[in-house]
């Protein structure tokens, strides 16, 4: 069995780990019962990295740094209200915690290849799935102590039917005594609580088992390799297609393509504002293709290696051109119709994929060959961008950009802005003074429609929701 499929342990579960898993489950139950992101969600997620660090499972500096990163993203679950941030924040926190558990005793994200990253993901799933038998081992080891309670259990079983019969007779004879047994229990909610506690505890148990598993050694790519000729042909075809697209862009900015656009029934303005999503898909797919072929193509001789590097670098350069065109077309579209969260995130994805392509070009060129840094740099760039988005508040940014656009165009989709989360409300109310009276009244209508009071239970407390209610009280 390969090491990445092994579920051997380097350390068994302890009573503190069992207790920690149960505590995570109990707080997770509070988060799931509220049905929203808030303080309980932050605490439940934040407990996981704290358990990894405080129990000593997280030994390496890389693992502790990743755990702290998960802790940071957990905090934002209470600060922000936008689903465009909350779900990525939750995903980032859990991914960083998974990486922290994977590197708990050995290894570093700064030196992990693509093949090893995939192997570690499989290893984490295999070990995480065995979390329940792992976490109950303290109970199994303590069965001798539990057996001491056997006489007590037998006594309770013997006494139970006698007690039930006597209690029923006494309840029939005395209504006051009968009232002692009128206990109002919501069995539906109780069952839901049991399921939520088990779900949270089992997730924590899986994470703790990953951190307790035998560490993986360095894993290189598969021994099988695609021939150099096949890999070079794939890159050459990609380069040819992208080169043709580059020619099309040159023709598009000149009058040479006017006849073609007229024949297609497309004006130049429509042409310049379309196709950006498809272009971003092309860039993403191309990045994956080049990554895969750079890892599976055999380059044993110097000539084939140089040819591959040349074609790959040309392909990356042309893909960067595609990303630039997509970014430019999306900007033209926003100049005409304003911003939405999808358009803003498309801009951000374009910047990130361009950054990944630059990393890939440097990696293929042989920069810092001693370390396998590409995967770590990609993960670090994604988490850094998400962290900056949390700080910047993207929904407030969309509001500001649309208000600025409306100041010159005198057009504003107030209904769309009203559909944004409470992250946008304070900025929406403050910035309306920049608009003409008609648009200002539209903003007031959508922004003031929500509640001005905030009295959520402590488990569901959210700073953005509380701030929006305060902004409505002050500005509506």
pLDDT in tens, 284-311: 999 999 999 888 888 888 888 899 999 9
Pairwise CA distance, residues 98 & 448, whole Å: 42
The mean of the pLDDT values for the chain is 88
Is pLDDT at 439 greater than 70 in this prediction? yes
Instruction: Examine the domain organization and report whether 432 and 334 are in the same domain.
Output: no
Closest by Cα among 413, 417, 424 to 81: 424
Count of all residues that appear for the chain in the document: 476
Range of the domain at 93: 3-139+188-212
pLDDT of residue 388: 97
- Contact of 200 with 27, CB cutoff 8 Å: yes
Pairwise CA distance, residues 234 & 289, whole Å: 9
Residue 159 lies in a domain: no
Closest by Cα among 38, 63, 36 to 51: 63
pLDDT of residue 238: 92
Instruction: Examine the domain organization and report whether 410 and 457 are in the same domain.
Output: yes
Instruction: Examine the domain organization and report whether 29 and 78 are in the same domain.
Output: yes
Is pLDDT at 183 greater than 70 in this prediction? no
Pairwise CA distance, residues 139 & 132, whole Å: 12
Last residue of a domain, one of 178, 212, 246: 212
Q: Which two tokens stand for residue 304?
A: 């084939």
What total number of domains does the chain contain? 3
Q: Using CA atoms in the order 202, 112, 119, 89, what is the torsion angle rounded to 10 degrees?
A: 40
Instruction: Examine the domain organization and report whether 403 and 373 are in the same domain.
Output: no
Q: Which two tokens stand for residue 356?
A: 């990944």
Instruction: Examine the domain organization and report whether 193 and 53 are in the same domain.
Output: yes
Q: Is the pTM above the cut of 0.75?
A: yes
Confidence category of residue 410, pLDDT binned at 50, 70, 90: confident
Instruction: Examine the domain organization and report whether 14 and 94 are in the same domain.
Output: yes
Residue 173 lies in a domain: no
Q: Calculate mean pLDDT across residues 266-286.
A: 77
Q: What is the DSSP letter of 214?
A: P
pLDDT of residue 181: 67
Instruction: Examine the domain organization and report whether 238 and 368 are in the same domain.
Output: yes
Residue 110 lies in a domain: yes
Lowest mean pLDDT among 34-43, 208-217, 256-265, 325-334: 256-265
Last residue of a domain, one of 392, 418, 452: 392
Pairwise CA distance, residues 133 & 125, whole Å: 15
């Amino acid at each position: 069995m390969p090491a990445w499929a092994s579920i051997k342990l380097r350390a068994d579960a302890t009573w503190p780990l069992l207790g920690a898993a149960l505590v995570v489950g109990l707080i997770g139950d509070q988060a799931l019962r509220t049905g929203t992101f808030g303080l309980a969600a932050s605490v439940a997620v934040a407990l996981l990295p704290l358990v990894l660090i405080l129990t000593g499972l997280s030994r390496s500096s890389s693992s502790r740094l990743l755990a702290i990163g998960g802790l940071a993203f957990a905090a934002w679950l209470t600060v922000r209200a936008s689903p465009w941030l909350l779900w990525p924040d939750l995903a980032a926190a859990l991914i960083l915690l998974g990486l922290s558990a994977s590197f708990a005793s050995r290894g570093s994200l700064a030196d992990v290849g693509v093949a090893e990253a995939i192997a570690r993901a499989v290893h984490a799933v295999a070990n995480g799935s065995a979390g329940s038998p792992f976490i109950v081992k303290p109970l199994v080891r303590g069965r001798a102590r539990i057996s001491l309670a056997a006489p007590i259990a037998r006594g309770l079983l013997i006494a139970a039917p006698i007690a039930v019969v006597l209690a029923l007779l006494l309840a029939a004879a005395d209504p006051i005594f009968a009232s002692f047994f009128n206990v109002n229990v919501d069995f539906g909610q109780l069952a839901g609580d049991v399921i939520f506690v088990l779900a949270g505890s089992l997730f924590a148990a899986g994470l703790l088992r990953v951190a307790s598993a035998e560490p993986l050694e360095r894993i290189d790519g598969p021994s099988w390799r695609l021939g150099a000729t096949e890999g070079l042909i794939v890159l050459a075809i990609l380069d040819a297609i992208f080169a043709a697209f580059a020619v099309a862009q040159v023709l598009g900015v000149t009058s040479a393509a006017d006849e073609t656009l007229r024949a297609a029934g497309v004006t130049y303005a429509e042409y310049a504002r379309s196709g950006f999503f498809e272009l971003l898909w092309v860039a993403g797919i191309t990045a994956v293709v080049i990554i895969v072929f750079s890892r599976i193509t055999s380059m044993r001789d110097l000539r084939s290696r140089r040819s591959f590097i040349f074609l790959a670098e040309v392909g990356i350069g042309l893909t960067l051109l595609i990303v630039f065109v997509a970014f430019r077309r999306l900007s033209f579209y926003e100049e005409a119709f304003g911003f939405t969260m999808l358009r803003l995130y498309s801009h951000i994805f374009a910047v990130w994929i361009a950054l990944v392509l630059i990393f890939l070009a440097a990696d293929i060129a042989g920069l810092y060959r001693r370390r396998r840094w590409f995967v770590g740099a990609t993960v670090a760039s994604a988490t850094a961008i998400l962290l900056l988005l949390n700080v910047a508040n993207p929904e407030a940014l969309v509001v500001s950009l649309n208000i600025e656009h409306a100041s010159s165009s005198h057009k504003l989709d107030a209904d769309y802005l009203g559909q944004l989360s409470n992250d946008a409300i304070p900025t929406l109310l403050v910035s309306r003074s920049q608009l003409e009276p008609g648009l200002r009244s539209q903003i007031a209508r959508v922004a003031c429609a929500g509640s001005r009071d905030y009295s959520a239970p402590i488990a569901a407390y959210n700073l953005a929701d509380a701030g929006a209610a305060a902004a409505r009280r002050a500005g509506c």
